Amino acid sequence: MKRSKFAVMLCAALAVVFALCGCVDRNAGNKGTTTSASDTASTVRSTDDTTDDNNGDYEAGKDGIVSSDDNNDIPGTTSGTDMTDGTSDTTGDMPAVSGTSLKDEAAFASSYIDYMALKNTKICWGLGKDRDSQNRPIDAVKAQEKYEYLGGIFLASEGKICLTFDEGYENGYTAAILDTLKEKNVKAIFFVTYDYCKSEPGLVRRMIDEGHIVGNHTWSHPSLPDCTQKDVWAEVTKLHEYVLREFGYEMMLFRFPKGEFSEQTLDDVNGLGYKSLFWSFAYADWDTSVKTDPAEALAKIEASTHSGIYLLHAVSETNAKILGPLLDYWAEQGYSVGTEF
């Protein structure tokens, strides 16, 4: 009897050790499911997670993706915080494990270790000039392969062009863009912030009523890798709940402010039920101080045509002028333009 009891205790102890070593696959356990953006997530990043010690200067890595040169792979932790069940919390804000079964503890330990293995190094999304045989940027192809399991989308499927606009503020051209889209019977995705929703409710309502997709661009447009995990959740969920309350519309697509993300923040957003839409084409149309010649801009975009995600900024007068001819050109080339990717 004593031997039997000792064997059970030994097995239980070994199971805990294996769990703490990450032997249970978190991805197999819960990556295939998502929760509502208003649900509480189950892991918390420490407040020491600030990155970007290079004063905003970025250099392209070997894969062509522009990223910061800091090496903050594993977030800092704090210790000694009491959890609600009386156990010690070495992560500062980590929620208590529910229940007391060995299975619960093993799953919790594996999930947390797997999360901590993700890097919080800031990546500033950008594209090199190299392209494949389908005219797709090589960097977007690589990023799609690398980050798709975390909910990152960088390309569209064959024959599709996903048209997106970022809306940080209104510069008087969104109505004209919506007019052109309506005339050409094309739908687009508009990523909005709280300030935009608050100041331009009529345009947001029109986007929704005319069948476009409205996406989440955060509450206040911060660089998310510089935020604590709780702040990341707040930036996403506050806007989600505001748009749901004010417009009766539930957002499902997300775009990182400035294109700055990390593996951990991708995982955070994915855990809130969102897919993160990046882009495979963009140009400096957001800088309104630079007057881009419409003919040059149109030629530049046409030359880049591929099955991908196109980012245009609605603050650009040039984009409003060339949108009609651009949509005509894409249709002539046989592409399906819209919100599918």
d(CA 222, CA 260): 9
**CA 244 – CA 262 distance, rounded (Å):** 27
Of 170, 161, 123, 116, nearest to 305 (Cα)? 161
Per the CB < 8 A criterion, the answer to whether 214 and 236 are in contact is no
Query: Could you tell me which of 218, 3, 12, 29 has the C-alpha nearest to residue 107?
Result: 29
The DSSP secondary-structure symbol of 7 reads H
Q: Rounded to the nearest 5°, which phi and psi values hold at 124? A: -100, 105
Catalytic residue among 217, 221, 306, 313: 313
**Cα–Cα–Cα angle for 331, 336, 341, nearest 5°?**
145
- Residue 334, Cα to own-chain centre: how many angstroms? 29
The structure tokens listed for 112 are 């947390």
Report the first-to-last Cα separation within the chain, whole angstroms.
62
Nearest-angstrom CA–CA distance, 327 and 103: 55
Of 89, 166, 267, 285, the active-site residue reads 166
> Which residues neighbour 12 within 8 Å (Cβ) at sequence distance 6 or greater?
102
3 state SS of 87: coil
Helical segments of the chain, H only = 2-20, 26-30, 102-116, 138-147, 174-184, 194-199, 201-209, 229-247, 263-271, 294-303, 317-332
Query: Are the beta carbons of 138 and 132 closer than 8 angstroms?
Result: yes
How distant, in Å, are the alpha carbons of 27, 124, 222, 277 from that of 271? Answer: 12, 21, 19, 15
| Catalytic residue check, 166 | yes
Residues classed as catalytic: 166, 313
